[in-house]
Structure 1
């Protein structure tokens, strides 16, 4: 959809022009941006958003995995305003804090599994993952194990876009042109069940993945490996759901080799899979570090958290004779307004029983998505609860992919958008991760729009002789 023929008020046209002329967007496609600019969204209500042309859309991606309690929640907005009038910001360096920072830390400790009792705050998932790695390296240095620096990540894993978090991210196309510290990282295979070797069943594929991990550890040397970082279900890599018991077995391998486990729940926490925290409740993994963001504040303000175990805290909190300070932190760590927002957001999630709602409706959502499997280019539908994806293929039987140049996911995205649904295109995949306010009617409308959009995409491909 292009905004070149603008019909909205002058101030909104000015915003469109200013954005195109001055703003640098995350992951900008400069083949189209300089010509078409951006769609200007200006209002939201539960699981709907509105652009400045007056178009209404089902927000099938919650902004970007974020707006769990829905857009325009007046209770949270009022609370943010009241907190801003009281105390918007004061630094939390060394001997300063605020009630909201202290109380949110206690709340996150209470909802996190096991002995994850200590919280470091930042402004998002990238910062939280960077902090996790810095803390891990510091921890092993304090233990007299300075060689334990290497990190195990995974192909197609996504952990952020700051310098180190981008290196942790195993989506190779995003790293082109950037000089990242990749010598620290070893990428393991993606638990990509749909494209596992044909001769393997799911159980054998899981064996294969674990055997690969063990071989990599043996090659690198466990004494050189600090940690393994993993999303319980991969998000931006294409909603990759691991084989049963894979995460628990990977965790056990790490524990056997003195390798810390970081669970990146930036996407999967705060109700998206039906739990406030999913690692232990859904996947039977007790991480050493838990990384949170996005749904932590439902995207109303930037907020992230790195939650660490008692074992790690006991080591890093011991003062060094040469420098008693833990020399890591940010101006906005423990931001009063952000933490107050996180506290109120969790209160709303719990009081309104969002997790129960997702547990109840999630299976229906997945079942309805699976009804699209009869369409000739739908190769796979996958995911869990309110975290789902469709993968498109040129031939269903062979799973032959479309050429990247066809932009199949983006084609479906555009057709869906003109019908009033926003999905996320990732190559040959469309992702669904809506606000947790999504109800049965929203699900049914989403599936109906997707069916029409995929059928129109098939027509286009035939006209262009691409199918």
Structure 2
């Protein structure tokens, strides 16, 4: 038995070596640097089960980022694999241009049932970027049909991340995302990030919230509501460092949008499908009813590429009542409403509704409390989060909150130590982001936080020894 396991491990290692070499020769990774583009290999993952993944060396790791915020019901769910197989054997694909499939119609109904307000119709895409792109193109179409071709500007915020397609990437407000990339800058107006940790020293949360709302209102007045088509915002800024906005901020922004006929697009690519304990967080957690919600990632728990936009009935009625009934929304994707993706999403939604959403709401406070204990470490400036989303932000010192005096790869340093200890972390410059599969138990949360604590402690020792940090 042991010999068989050893043989399997050796075969996996050989396959890993081959994959590493093939990647260096042929594979272009996402978000590469020019100096290594097309010539790099990254950590090779061979298997996954539950909240764990196994790397090429056979090391078992807690999947701290849940893939990329998406493995919500965990790895190796046989019921999802079976649905994928069964649907592929029944109908693997149909053209959405002039045919349709039953799973997509049922899924649209199920999703609409969870959406707030009058959001009742769904356009399916292939992922989050294409979902945001679709929402923006739909806004442009909507205003063209209504005879307002000048109402196309988009309000976005610092720290935002909305995708990698041209329009969606133009909204991004994270450091380095746009340094070397072009975008539709003429269409985007940027606002401040709603980051309470980075508010001016001596400013209360209430005053900071008022500043954000006043800035939004003043921007609308300065630019002109007749030129602004949409505001796009994540309920919690995910890849920007898990920025949880101040209480009441989103409701106040929603009212300004409503008063000025600006479409409010809630980007729930990350927060949707359980990350905050509900299928959608906009209504259930933040008390807002957007005009559109974008989603992806958790809709299939990463088992199949799928995303979409939930659209308000009011908007659709206005289009149907217009004087241009023949106006064509010239937008679609080859894999729109893919039958396999929609079938997987239906089963995934069953799993979420049966137990996972309730479990997430039950363990989330424990997850947040345990992560918060890491603020005892001198390198940690703040631990923040909501639901099963968390961020540990490291700073040179807590008074200045300056991350730039630290080694710029401090997050990667922590991740490397954690990898050795049995945890995969998502490093973001000076931050470590955690968003484990929603099925994680309290005991597994304890393991994750203990490893992260040790990884940060080892990094502190490294920085002191190298003279980079004297904390």
CA gap of 1:313–1:223, structure 2 versus 1, over 3 A, is: same
Q: Pick one of 388, 391, 396 that aligns with 1:389.
A: 391
1:58 aligns with 2:62: yes
The one of 153, 156, 159 equivalent to 2:156 is 153
Aligned position for 2:441: 439
2:86 to 72, 82, 85: 82
**SS of 1:186 mapped into structure 2:** strand
Deviations 1:139-174, CA, capped at 9 Å, x for gaps = 111111111100000011110000111001112411
Determine if contact 1:402/1:408 at 8 Å carries over to the other structure: no
Confirm or deny that 1:375 pairs with 2:366. Answer: no
Which of the numbers 8, 16, 36 marks the counterpart of 2:20?
16
Partners of 1:316 and 1:326 within 8 A in 2: no
Kindly tell me: are residues 348 and 462 of structure 1, through their superposed partners in 2, closer, same or farther at Cα, counting changes over 3 Å?
Answer: same
Q: Deviations over 1:231-290 (max 9, x none)?
A: 000000110000010000010111111111000000001111111110011101100000
Please state whether the residue corresponding to 1:283 is helix, strand or coil: coil
RMSD: 1.7
Aligned equivalents of 1:433, 1:31: Cα separation in 2: 30
Q: Out of 324, 341, 346, which is 1:343 matched to? A: 346
The two structures have a TM-score, normalised by structure 2, of 0.94
User: In the superposition, relative to structure 1, how do residues 446 and 64 fare at CA in structure 2: closer, same or farther (>3 Å)?
Assistant: same
- Number of aligned positions between the proteins: 460
Is residue 317–residue 326 contact of structure 1 (8 Å, CA) maintained in 2? no
- Once residues 163 and 367 of structure 2 are traced to their aligned partners in structure 1, the CA distance between those partners, rounded to angstroms, is 28
> Which residue of structure 2 aligns with residue 426 of structure 1?
428
CA distance in 2, matches of 1:44, 1:198: 44
SS in 1 for 2:264: strand
Question: Which residue number corresponds to residue 32 of structure 2?
Answer: 28
Distance 1:7 1:35, change over 3 A: farther
Q: In structure 2, how many angstroms separate the alpha carbons of the residues matched to 1:348 and 1:341?
A: 11
TM-score norm. by structure 1 comes to 0.95
In structure 2, the partner of 1:47 is 51
Q: Which residue of the partner structure matches residue 3 of structure 1? A: none
Question: Matches of 2:221 and 2:440 in 1, distance apart?
Answer: 46
Asked if structure 1 preserves the Cα contact closer than 8 Å seen for 2:406 and 2:468, the reply is no
Equivalent residue in structure 2 for 1:186, among 189, 197, 204: 189
Residue 113 of structure 2, aligned match among 105, 110, 122:
110
Aligned to 1:279: 282
Farther off after superposition, 36-45 or 402-411:
402-411
Note if contact 1:101-1:335 (Cα within 8 Å) is conserved in structure 2. yes
Taking the TM superposition and a 5 Å limit, the aligned residue runs for 1:212-231 are 212-231=215-234
- Listed as ranges, the gaps of 5+ residues in structure 2 are 1-9
CA shift for structure 1 position 177: 1.9
- Counterpart for residue 303 of structure 1: 306
- Residues of 2 paired with 1:114 and 1:175: CA distance? 35
Question: How far is 1:10 from its partner?
Answer: 3.3
What does residue 177 of structure 2 align with? 174
Q: What's the CA shift for 1:33? A: 7.2
Does the residue aligned with 1:381 lie in a helix, a strand or coil?
A: strand
Contact 1:91–1:334 (CA under 8 A) maintained in structure 2: no
